[in-house]
Amino acid sequence: MSLKIFVATFSAIFLAELADKTQLVGITMSAKSGKPFTVWLGSVTAYIIVTAISVVIGVLLSKHIKPELIRYVGASFFVVIGVLMFMGKV
């Protein structure tokens, strides 16, 4: 295991997910249900599954497409979504 890749991945995901809508859902669900452990367990399980799917897709794509292209396409999607949000279309 590469510690450098682990730390880079952890840092990127931790900062990207900090105070996003997923956390707001967790806060709301915990407050409404009064069962924080169950909400935490459901959240962690869902995120594990989503992350596993993302990693598998990344591995499959990297066999056919250069990683740089994947990065540029992903960045382009973020820009397009940002512009659409700014224009009130999303």
Of 2, 42, 7, the closest CA to residue 22 belongs to 42
Average pLDDT over the chain, rounded to whole? 91
Domain ranges of the chain: 3-86
Nearest-angstrom CA–CA distance, 72 and 43: 29
Q: 26-56, pLDDT tens digit by residue?
A: 999 999 999 999 999 999 999 999 999 999 9
Nearest-angstrom CA–CA distance, 90 and 84: 6
Q: Does residue 85 surpass a pLDDT of 80?
A: yes
User: In this structure, what token pair is assigned to residue 37?
Assistant: 């452990």
* pLDDT of res. 21: 85
Query: What is the average per-residue pLDDT within 71-75?
Result: 90
DSSP per-residue codes, 16-64 = HHTTSHHHHHHHHHHHHHS-HHHHHHHHHHHHHHHHHHHHHHHHHHHTT
* pLDDT of res. 77: 93
* pLDDT of res. 79: 95
Q: Does residue 19 surpass a pLDDT of 80?
A: no
